[in-house]
Protein backbone atom coordinates (compact mmCIF):
# COMPACT_ATOMS: atom_id res chain seq x y z
CA UNK A 1 0.00 0.00 0.00
CA UNK A 2 2.78 2.38 0.95
CA UNK A 3 4.76 1.52 -2.12
CA UNK A 4 1.69 2.03 -4.24
CA UNK A 5 1.10 5.39 -2.59
CA UNK A 6 4.71 6.38 -3.10
CA UNK A 7 4.50 5.39 -6.72
CA UNK A 8 1.29 7.30 -7.27
CA UNK A 9 2.63 10.42 -5.58
CA UNK A 10 5.84 10.30 -7.57
CA UNK A 11 4.05 9.64 -10.80
CA UNK A 12 1.58 12.39 -10.13
CA UNK A 13 4.17 14.91 -9.06
CA UNK A 14 6.98 14.15 -11.42
CA UNK A 15 5.44 12.89 -14.59
CA UNK A 16 2.12 14.65 -15.10
CA UNK A 17 2.65 16.37 -18.48
CA UNK A 18 0.38 19.28 -17.65
CA UNK A 19 2.54 20.13 -14.68
CA UNK A 20 5.84 19.53 -16.39
CA UNK A 21 5.13 22.26 -18.92
CA UNK A 22 5.04 24.98 -16.24
CA UNK A 23 7.31 23.49 -13.61
CA UNK A 24 10.92 23.64 -12.53
CA UNK A 25 13.02 20.57 -11.97
CA UNK A 26 16.48 20.23 -10.62
CA UNK A 27 18.49 17.11 -10.07
CA UNK A 28 21.73 15.92 -8.52
CA UNK A 29 23.72 12.76 -8.95
CA UNK A 30 26.10 12.23 -6.05
CA UNK A 31 28.87 9.66 -6.47
CA UNK A 32 31.24 8.74 -3.68
CA UNK A 33 34.48 7.00 -3.10
CA UNK A 34 34.60 5.96 0.56
CA UNK A 35 37.26 4.60 2.86
CA UNK A 36 35.63 3.74 6.20
CA UNK A 37 37.40 2.43 9.26
CA UNK A 38 35.18 1.71 12.21
CA UNK A 39 32.56 -0.59 13.66
CA UNK A 40 29.88 -2.14 11.48
CA UNK A 41 27.44 0.67 10.70
CA UNK A 42 24.07 0.81 12.48
CA UNK A 43 22.62 0.47 8.96
CA UNK A 44 24.30 -2.93 8.59
CA UNK A 45 23.66 -4.66 11.88
CA UNK A 46 26.27 -2.93 14.02
CA UNK A 47 26.32 0.01 16.40
CA UNK A 48 28.91 2.08 14.59
CA UNK A 49 27.93 5.70 14.15
CA UNK A 50 29.02 6.15 10.53
CA UNK A 51 26.91 5.61 7.43
CA UNK A 52 29.54 3.42 5.82
CA UNK A 53 31.80 0.72 7.25
CA UNK A 54 34.70 -1.29 5.90
CA UNK A 55 32.34 -3.90 4.49
CA UNK A 56 30.34 -1.21 2.72
CA UNK A 57 32.81 1.31 1.37
CA UNK A 58 34.62 1.81 -1.92
CA UNK A 59 32.78 3.30 -4.90
CA UNK A 60 29.22 4.13 -3.86
CA UNK A 61 26.20 5.85 -5.30
CA UNK A 62 25.30 8.27 -2.55
CA UNK A 63 22.05 9.42 -4.07
CA UNK A 64 20.15 10.49 -7.15
CA UNK A 65 17.79 13.33 -6.36
CA UNK A 66 15.10 15.16 -8.28
CA UNK A 67 13.57 18.35 -6.96
CA UNK A 68 10.28 19.64 -8.27
CA UNK A 69 8.79 23.10 -7.97
CA UNK A 70 5.54 24.41 -9.36
CA UNK A 71 3.91 27.79 -8.83
CA UNK A 72 0.18 27.71 -8.70
CA UNK A 73 -2.34 30.55 -8.51
CA UNK A 74 0.45 33.08 -7.97
CA UNK A 75 0.89 32.51 -4.23
CA UNK A 76 0.87 28.72 -3.92
CA UNK A 77 4.21 27.00 -4.38
CA UNK A 78 4.33 23.21 -4.64
CA UNK A 79 7.61 21.52 -3.73
CA UNK A 80 8.67 17.90 -3.74
CA UNK A 81 11.99 16.18 -3.38
CA UNK A 82 12.43 12.61 -4.59
CA UNK A 83 15.56 10.64 -3.86
CA UNK A 84 17.05 7.25 -4.49
CA UNK A 85 19.80 6.01 -2.20
CA UNK A 86 19.83 2.62 -3.92
CA UNK A 87 20.68 0.93 -0.63
CA UNK A 88 17.79 -1.47 -0.29
CA UNK A 89 15.18 0.89 1.10
CA UNK A 90 11.54 -0.10 0.71
CA UNK A 91 11.21 1.75 -2.59
CA UNK A 92 13.94 2.47 -5.09
CA UNK A 93 12.70 6.06 -5.25
CA UNK A 94 10.96 7.82 -2.39
CA UNK A 95 10.13 11.30 -1.18
CA UNK A 96 11.88 13.23 1.55
CA UNK A 97 9.59 16.26 1.30
CA UNK A 98 6.32 17.09 -0.45
CA UNK A 99 4.44 20.21 0.50
CA UNK A 100 2.54 23.26 -0.62
CA UNK A 101 3.50 26.69 0.63
CA UNK A 102 0.99 29.52 0.55
CA UNK A 103 2.97 32.75 0.49
CA UNK A 104 0.95 35.91 -0.19
CA UNK A 105 2.57 39.28 -0.81
CA UNK A 106 3.64 41.09 2.37
CA UNK A 107 1.22 43.61 3.79
CA UNK A 108 3.06 46.70 4.94
CA UNK A 109 6.04 44.68 6.06
CA UNK A 110 4.16 41.74 7.57
CA UNK A 111 3.84 38.43 5.80
CA UNK A 112 2.07 35.20 6.63
CA UNK A 113 3.16 31.86 5.24
CA UNK A 114 1.46 28.52 5.56
CA UNK A 115 3.07 25.19 4.72
CA UNK A 116 0.99 22.06 4.30
CA UNK A 117 2.41 18.61 3.70
CA UNK A 118 5.65 16.91 4.73
CA UNK A 119 8.73 19.07 5.25
CA UNK A 120 11.61 19.89 7.60
CA UNK A 121 11.14 21.93 10.76
CA UNK A 122 13.24 25.13 10.73
CA UNK A 123 16.08 23.80 12.88
CA UNK A 124 19.13 23.30 10.68
CA UNK A 125 21.25 26.28 9.74
CA UNK A 126 23.57 24.00 7.74
CA UNK A 127 21.21 22.30 5.30
CA UNK A 128 20.63 25.02 2.73
CA UNK A 129 20.94 23.26 -0.63
CA UNK A 130 17.97 21.78 -2.49
CA UNK A 131 17.11 18.41 -1.02
CA UNK A 132 18.08 19.62 2.49
CA UNK A 133 21.78 19.08 1.81
CA UNK A 134 24.65 21.02 3.33
CA UNK A 135 26.89 23.21 1.19
CA UNK A 136 29.60 23.12 3.87
CA UNK A 137 30.26 19.43 4.47
CA UNK A 138 29.11 16.14 2.96
CA UNK A 139 27.84 14.94 6.35
CA UNK A 140 25.78 17.36 8.43
CA UNK A 141 26.31 17.75 12.17
CA UNK A 142 25.09 15.20 14.71
CA UNK A 143 22.08 17.39 15.47
CA UNK A 144 21.02 17.78 11.86
CA UNK A 145 21.81 14.16 11.04
CA UNK A 146 19.30 13.21 13.72
CA UNK A 147 16.73 15.70 12.37
CA UNK A 148 17.10 14.12 8.93
CA UNK A 149 16.73 10.65 10.35
CA UNK A 150 13.84 10.89 12.78
CA UNK A 151 11.86 14.07 12.12
CA UNK A 152 9.60 15.40 9.43
CA UNK A 153 6.76 17.80 9.95
CA UNK A 154 3.74 16.05 8.46
CA UNK A 155 1.04 18.62 8.98
CA UNK A 156 0.87 22.40 8.90
CA UNK A 157 3.32 25.17 9.78
CA UNK A 158 2.42 28.84 10.03
CA UNK A 159 5.04 31.59 9.83
CA UNK A 160 4.60 35.27 10.53
CA UNK A 161 7.46 37.41 9.24
CA UNK A 162 8.22 41.02 9.97
CA UNK A 163 10.30 42.28 7.05
CA UNK A 164 11.99 45.12 8.90
CA UNK A 165 14.58 45.79 6.21
CA UNK A 166 11.82 46.97 3.93
CA UNK A 167 11.18 49.72 6.46
CA UNK A 168 14.83 50.68 6.73
CA UNK A 169 15.55 48.63 9.84
CA UNK A 170 18.46 46.25 10.15
CA UNK A 171 16.46 43.35 11.61
CA UNK A 172 13.90 40.89 10.36
CA UNK A 173 11.89 38.77 12.76
CA UNK A 174 9.81 35.65 12.34
CA UNK A 175 7.56 33.46 14.45
CA UNK A 176 6.80 29.82 13.63
CA UNK A 177 4.22 27.40 14.94
CA UNK A 178 3.34 23.95 13.64
CA UNK A 179 0.92 21.11 14.28
CA UNK A 180 1.69 17.65 12.94
CA UNK A 181 1.33 13.91 13.37
CA UNK A 182 3.19 10.75 12.36
CA UNK A 183 6.38 11.41 14.32
CA UNK A 184 5.45 8.88 16.97
CA UNK A 185 8.73 6.93 17.07
CA UNK A 186 11.12 9.90 16.90
CA UNK A 187 13.77 9.35 19.52
CA UNK A 188 13.98 5.58 19.27
CA UNK A 189 16.99 5.57 16.96
CA UNK A 190 18.86 8.00 19.21
CA UNK A 191 18.06 5.91 22.29
CA UNK A 192 19.38 2.73 20.70
CA UNK A 193 22.27 3.79 18.52
CA UNK A 194 23.19 7.11 20.03
CA UNK A 195 24.23 9.99 17.81
CA UNK A 196 25.55 9.69 14.27
CA UNK A 197 27.00 11.93 11.59
CA UNK A 198 25.82 11.08 8.09
CA UNK A 199 23.79 12.38 5.18
CA UNK A 200 21.31 9.52 4.83
CA UNK A 201 17.90 11.14 5.30
CA UNK A 202 14.96 8.93 6.09
CA UNK A 203 12.38 9.01 3.32
CA UNK A 204 8.68 9.50 3.98
CA UNK A 205 7.75 5.90 3.20
CA UNK A 206 11.14 4.34 3.81
CA UNK A 207 12.98 2.81 6.75
CA UNK A 208 16.32 3.05 8.52
CA UNK A 209 18.46 -0.01 7.95
CA UNK A 210 17.18 -3.41 6.90
CA UNK A 211 14.32 -5.40 8.45
CA UNK A 212 15.42 -8.29 10.64
CA UNK A 213 18.94 -6.88 10.82
CA UNK A 214 19.25 -6.02 14.51
CA UNK A 215 19.62 -3.78 16.38
CA UNK A 216 17.85 -1.15 14.25
CA UNK A 217 15.81 -3.65 12.21
CA UNK A 218 14.47 -1.34 9.55
CA UNK A 219 12.89 1.31 11.73
CA UNK A 220 9.87 2.89 10.07
CA UNK A 221 9.72 6.47 11.29
CA UNK A 222 6.75 8.05 9.57
CA UNK A 223 4.53 5.10 8.77
CA UNK A 224 1.83 5.33 11.39
CA UNK A 225 0.30 7.76 13.82
CA UNK A 226 -0.14 5.41 16.74
CA UNK A 227 -1.88 7.74 19.21
CA UNK A 228 -3.62 10.19 16.85
CA UNK A 229 -2.42 13.03 19.01
CA UNK A 230 -1.15 16.25 17.52
CA UNK A 231 2.46 17.25 18.05
CA UNK A 232 3.61 20.83 17.93
CA UNK A 233 6.59 23.11 17.77
CA UNK A 234 6.96 26.83 18.16
CA UNK A 235 9.93 29.06 17.59
CA UNK A 236 11.35 32.30 16.39
CA UNK A 237 13.95 33.69 14.01
CA UNK A 238 15.86 36.95 14.04
CA UNK A 239 18.03 38.10 11.16
CA UNK A 240 20.43 41.02 11.30
CA UNK A 241 21.08 42.20 7.73
CA UNK A 242 22.83 39.39 5.85
CA UNK A 243 25.28 38.93 8.69
CA UNK A 244 23.49 37.10 11.48
CA UNK A 245 20.65 34.66 11.87
CA UNK A 246 19.38 33.35 15.20
CA UNK A 247 16.86 30.57 15.58
CA UNK A 248 15.17 29.03 18.59
CA UNK A 249 12.57 26.27 18.65
CA UNK A 250 10.72 24.21 21.20
CA UNK A 251 9.65 20.83 19.87
CA UNK A 252 7.19 18.39 21.43
CA UNK A 253 5.74 15.49 19.47
CA UNK A 254 3.16 15.07 22.26
CA UNK A 255 3.07 11.31 21.79
CA UNK A 256 1.34 9.16 24.38
CA UNK A 257 4.15 6.81 25.47
CA UNK A 258 1.54 4.23 26.46
CA UNK A 259 0.14 4.06 22.94
CA UNK A 260 1.00 0.80 21.26
CA UNK A 261 1.30 -0.15 17.62
CA UNK A 262 0.40 -3.77 16.89
CA UNK A 263 1.67 -3.30 13.35
CA UNK A 264 5.20 -2.53 14.51
CA UNK A 265 5.02 -4.02 18.00
CA UNK A 266 6.16 -0.71 19.44
CA UNK A 267 5.10 1.86 21.99
CA UNK A 268 5.11 5.52 21.15
CA UNK A 269 8.10 7.76 21.94
CA UNK A 270 7.34 11.08 23.53
CA UNK A 271 10.18 13.39 22.49
CA UNK A 272 10.69 16.98 23.52
CA UNK A 273 13.66 19.22 22.93
CA UNK A 274 14.82 22.81 22.70
CA UNK A 275 17.00 23.94 19.85
CA UNK A 276 19.00 27.12 19.39
CA UNK A 277 21.14 28.06 16.41
CA UNK A 278 23.27 30.91 15.17
CA UNK A 279 24.73 31.58 11.76
CA UNK A 280 27.21 34.41 11.49
CA UNK A 281 28.58 35.63 8.18
CA UNK A 282 31.03 38.37 9.15
CA UNK A 283 32.48 38.67 5.64
CA UNK A 284 31.79 37.30 2.20
CA UNK A 285 34.37 34.61 2.81
CA UNK A 286 33.59 33.41 6.29
CA UNK A 287 30.57 31.65 7.73
CA UNK A 288 30.31 30.40 11.29
CA UNK A 289 27.43 28.19 12.39
CA UNK A 290 26.68 26.88 15.83
CA UNK A 291 23.68 24.91 17.05
CA UNK A 292 22.68 23.41 20.36
CA UNK A 293 19.90 20.95 21.03
CA UNK A 294 18.84 19.28 24.28
CA UNK A 295 15.82 17.33 25.39
CA UNK A 296 14.41 14.04 26.54
CA UNK A 297 12.42 11.13 25.17
CA UNK A 298 10.19 8.63 26.98
CA UNK A 299 9.11 5.27 25.68
CA UNK A 300 6.34 3.18 27.24
CA UNK A 301 7.90 -0.08 26.13
CA UNK A 302 9.04 -1.23 29.53
CA UNK A 303 6.17 -3.65 29.90
CA UNK A 304 5.24 -5.29 33.21
CA UNK A 305 7.35 -6.88 35.88
CA UNK A 306 5.46 -9.34 38.14
CA UNK A 307 2.23 -7.69 37.00
CA UNK A 308 3.45 -4.33 38.25
CA UNK A 309 3.85 -1.66 35.58
CA UNK A 310 7.48 -0.67 35.58
CA UNK A 311 8.51 2.83 34.84
CA UNK A 312 9.00 4.15 31.38
CA UNK A 313 12.23 4.06 29.52
CA UNK A 314 13.49 7.62 29.54
CA UNK A 315 16.54 9.21 27.95
CA UNK A 316 18.06 12.64 28.08
CA UNK A 317 20.27 13.96 25.34
CA UNK A 318 22.09 16.99 24.07
CA UNK A 319 24.48 17.91 21.30
CA UNK A 320 26.14 21.02 19.97
CA UNK A 321 28.56 21.95 17.23
CA UNK A 322 30.58 24.81 15.84
CA UNK A 323 31.33 25.00 12.14
CA UNK A 324 33.61 27.46 10.40
CA UNK A 325 33.65 27.71 6.63
CA UNK A 326 35.88 29.77 4.37
CA UNK A 327 35.22 30.36 0.71
CA UNK A 328 37.25 31.96 -2.03
CA UNK A 329 35.81 31.81 -5.52
CA UNK A 330 35.05 28.20 -6.34
CA UNK A 331 36.89 26.78 -3.32
CA UNK A 332 35.42 26.16 0.08
CA UNK A 333 37.08 24.81 3.21
CA UNK A 334 35.04 23.84 6.26
CA UNK A 335 35.78 22.42 9.68
CA UNK A 336 33.29 21.38 12.33
CA UNK A 337 33.51 20.14 15.87
CA UNK A 338 30.55 18.19 17.28
CA UNK A 339 29.99 16.95 20.77
CA UNK A 340 27.10 14.78 21.83
CA UNK A 341 25.71 12.91 24.77
CA UNK A 342 22.73 10.68 25.54
CA UNK A 343 22.00 8.82 28.74
CA UNK A 344 19.13 6.75 29.97
CA UNK A 345 17.45 8.00 33.13
CA UNK A 346 14.71 5.40 33.58
CA UNK A 347 14.98 1.70 32.90
CA UNK A 348 13.99 -1.69 34.22
CA UNK A 349 17.56 -2.90 33.91
CA UNK A 350 20.16 -1.80 31.41
CA UNK A 351 20.95 1.92 31.09
CA UNK A 352 22.20 2.96 27.68
CA UNK A 353 24.57 5.91 27.29
CA UNK A 354 26.39 7.55 24.41
CA UNK A 355 29.11 10.12 24.80
CA UNK A 356 31.45 11.40 22.18
CA UNK A 357 32.75 14.10 19.94
CA UNK A 358 33.66 14.40 16.29
CA UNK A 359 35.75 16.42 13.87
CA UNK A 360 34.74 16.96 10.26
CA UNK A 361 37.01 18.56 7.66
CA UNK A 362 35.80 19.22 4.14
CA UNK A 363 37.05 20.81 0.95
CA UNK A 364 34.84 21.48 -2.03
CA UNK A 365 35.66 22.86 -5.44
CA UNK A 366 32.90 23.98 -7.74
CA UNK A 367 34.31 23.16 -11.15
CA UNK A 368 31.26 24.48 -12.97
CA UNK A 369 27.63 25.15 -12.15
CA UNK A 370 27.01 21.53 -13.10
CA UNK A 371 29.96 19.79 -11.49
CA UNK A 372 31.62 19.90 -8.11
CA UNK A 373 34.06 17.69 -6.25
CA UNK A 374 34.50 17.43 -2.51
CA UNK A 375 36.65 15.60 0.00
CA UNK A 376 35.62 15.02 3.59
CA UNK A 377 37.42 13.49 6.53
CA UNK A 378 35.24 12.55 9.47
CA UNK A 379 36.45 11.31 12.85
CA UNK A 380 33.99 10.20 15.52
CA UNK A 381 35.18 9.23 18.98
CA UNK A 382 32.27 7.70 20.88
CA UNK A 383 31.39 5.43 23.79
CA UNK A 384 28.05 3.66 23.46
CA UNK A 385 27.07 1.42 26.38
CA UNK A 386 24.84 -0.84 24.25
CA UNK A 387 27.66 -2.05 22.03
CA UNK A 388 28.78 -5.00 24.19
CA UNK A 389 25.27 -6.44 23.81
CA UNK A 390 26.20 -7.28 20.21
CA UNK A 391 29.82 -8.09 20.98
CA UNK A 392 31.32 -4.73 20.15
CA UNK A 393 33.58 -2.63 22.38
CA UNK A 394 31.97 0.32 24.16
CA UNK A 395 34.50 2.84 22.89
CA UNK A 396 35.29 3.33 19.24
CA UNK A 397 37.29 5.78 17.19
CA UNK A 398 35.72 5.70 13.76
CA UNK A 399 37.02 7.32 10.63
CA UNK A 400 35.53 7.97 7.22
CA UNK A 401 37.22 9.54 4.21
CA UNK A 402 34.92 10.42 1.33
CA UNK A 403 35.48 11.77 -2.15
CA UNK A 404 32.33 13.11 -3.76
CA UNK A 405 31.65 13.93 -7.38
CA UNK A 406 28.37 15.76 -7.72
CA UNK A 407 26.54 16.54 -10.93
CA UNK A 408 23.79 19.13 -10.81
CA UNK A 409 21.21 19.82 -13.48
| Residue ranges in contact with other proteins by CB under 8 A | 24, 71, 74, 77, 103, 105-109, 111, 119-120, 122, 124-125, 127-130, 132, 135, 161, 163, 165-168, 172, 241-243, 281-284, 287, 327, 366
Q: Which is nearer to other proteins, 165 or 343 (CB)?
A: 165
The nearer residue to other proteins, 166 or 305, going by C-beta atoms, is 166
Contact 147, 200 (CB under 8 A): no
| Complex with other proteins: residue 167 or 262, whichever CB lies closer | 167
DSSP category for residue 171: E
Nearer Cβ to other proteins (243/390): 243
Q: Least Å distance between CB 172 and other proteins? A: 7
Q: Which is nearer to other proteins, 169 or 343 (CB)?
A: 169
Helix (H, G, I), strand (E, B) or coil at 177: strand
CB of 366: closest distance to other proteins in angstroms?
Answer: 8
User: Where does residue 183 rank: exposed (0-12), middle (13-18), buried (19+ CB within 10 A)?
Assistant: buried
Strand partners, 58: 34
> Cα(364)–Cα(326) distance, rounded to whole angstroms?
11
The minimum distance between CB 278 and other proteins, in angstroms, equals 14
Whether the Cβ atoms of residue 204 and residue 224 lie closer than 8 Å to each other: no
β-pairing verdict for 395-408 and 153-162: unpaired
Handedness of CA 129, 69, 202, 185 (dihedral sign): positive
* Residue with Cβ nearer other proteins (12 or 106): 106
Residue 128 C-beta: closest distance to other proteins, Å: 4
CA distance 314 to 345: 5
Q: How many CB atoms lie within 10 A of CB 358?
A: 25
Give whichever of 242 and 265 is closer to other proteins, judged by the CB atom. 242
Minimum CB separation from other proteins for residue 337, in Å?
22
User: Least distance (Å) from other proteins to the CB of residue 273?
Assistant: 17
**Please, what is the minimum distance in Å from the beta carbon of residue 166 to other proteins?**
5
**Which residues of 182-254 form beta strands (DSSP E)?**
231-240, 244-252
Q: Choose between 124 and 290: whose C-beta lies nearer to other proteins.
A: 124
Nearest-approach distance from CB 296 to other proteins, in angstroms? 25
Residues 56, 62, 64, 68, CA torsion sign? positive
| Closer by beta carbon to other proteins, 127 or else 253 | 127
Query: Nearest-CA neighbor of 232 among 248, 256, 251?
Result: 251
Distance of closest approach, residue 165 Cβ to other proteins, in angstroms: 6
Gap between the Cα atoms of 63 and 201, Å rounded? 10
Burial of 203 (0-12, 13-18, 19+ CB in 10 A): buried
Residues with Cβ within 8 Å of residue 7, at least 6 apart in sequence: 91
Give the residue with the Cβ less far from other proteins, 190 or 289: 289
Strand partners, 324: 288, 335
Quick check: helix, strand or coil at residue 269? strand
Give the separation between CA 71 and CA 316, rounded to whole angstroms.
Answer: 42
- Minimum distance of other proteins from residue 276's CB (angstroms): 16
Amino acid sequence: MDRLLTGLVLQGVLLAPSLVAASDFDATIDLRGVIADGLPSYLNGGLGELRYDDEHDGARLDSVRIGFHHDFLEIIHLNANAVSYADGDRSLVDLTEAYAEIRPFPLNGWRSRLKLGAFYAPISLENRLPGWRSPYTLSPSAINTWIGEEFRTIGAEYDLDWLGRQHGHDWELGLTAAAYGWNDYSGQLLAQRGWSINDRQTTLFGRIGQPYVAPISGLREFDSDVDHRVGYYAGGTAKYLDALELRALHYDNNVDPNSYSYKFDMFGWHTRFNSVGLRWTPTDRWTVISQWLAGRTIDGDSGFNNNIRTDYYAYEFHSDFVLASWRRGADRLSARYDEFEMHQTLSDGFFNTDRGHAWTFAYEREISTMLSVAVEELLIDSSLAARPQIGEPVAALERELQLAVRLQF
